[in-house]
């Protein structure tokens, strides 16, 4: 059994747990995308997300039905969450960012 490979950018514990609950083929796709985010934190298919009063740059990368939510800390991605869309509506985005700030 091969050991779990953690992508280069930092993942919150919640994002890491979400990633490794997914089926292998989806996990490989997302790990590849996360590795690409490490090389280019603002890929053309990512979108900035706006939160009132938030100065940290928050971005979303869409991969089919999957969303990778991350923020940039000194140009290094911090993966906040990996979610499936739909039904994900970004309602907990403020909570994810607040958790990191604590």
Q: What is the CATH number of the domain that holds 34?
A: 3.30.2310.20
The reply to whether 5 falls in a domain is no
- Which tens digit of pLDDT belongs to each residue from 33-55? 999 998 899 999 999 988 887 77
Q: What is the β-pairing status of strands 10-11 and 76-84?
A: parallel
Q: Is residue 47 part of a domain?
A: yes
Residue 3: inside a domain:
no
Tell me what pLDDT residue 1 has: 45
Residue 73 DSSP label: E
Burial 62-96 (b: 16+ CB within 10 A, else e): eeeebbbbbbbeeeebbbbbbbeeeebebeebeeb
Q: Could you tell me if residue 63 is inside a domain?
A: yes
Range of the domain at 16: 10-101
**Angle made by CA atoms 15, 17, 23, in degrees to the nearest 5:** 105
pTM: 0.80
User: Is 74 a domain residue?
Assistant: yes
Residues of the chain with pLDDT > 90, as a percent, come to 41
Q: Which residues of the chain have pLDDT under 50?
A: 1, 6-7
Domain count, the chain: 1
Q: Give pLDDT, residue 70.
A: 93
Does 65 reside within a domain? Answer: yes
């Amino acid at each position: 059994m091969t050991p779990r490979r953690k992508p280069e950018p930092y993942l919150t514990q919640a994002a890491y747990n979400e990633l490794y609950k997914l089926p292998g083929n989806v996990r490989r796709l997302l790990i590849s995308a996360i590795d690409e985010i490490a090389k280019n934190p603002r890929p053309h298919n990512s979108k900035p997300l706006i939160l009132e009063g938030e100065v940290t740059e928050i971005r979303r990368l869409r991969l089919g039905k999957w969303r990778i939510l991350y923020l940039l800390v000194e140009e290094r991605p911090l993966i906040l969450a990996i979610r499936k869309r739909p039904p994900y509506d970004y309602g907990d985005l403020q909570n994810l960012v607040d958790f990191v700030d604590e």
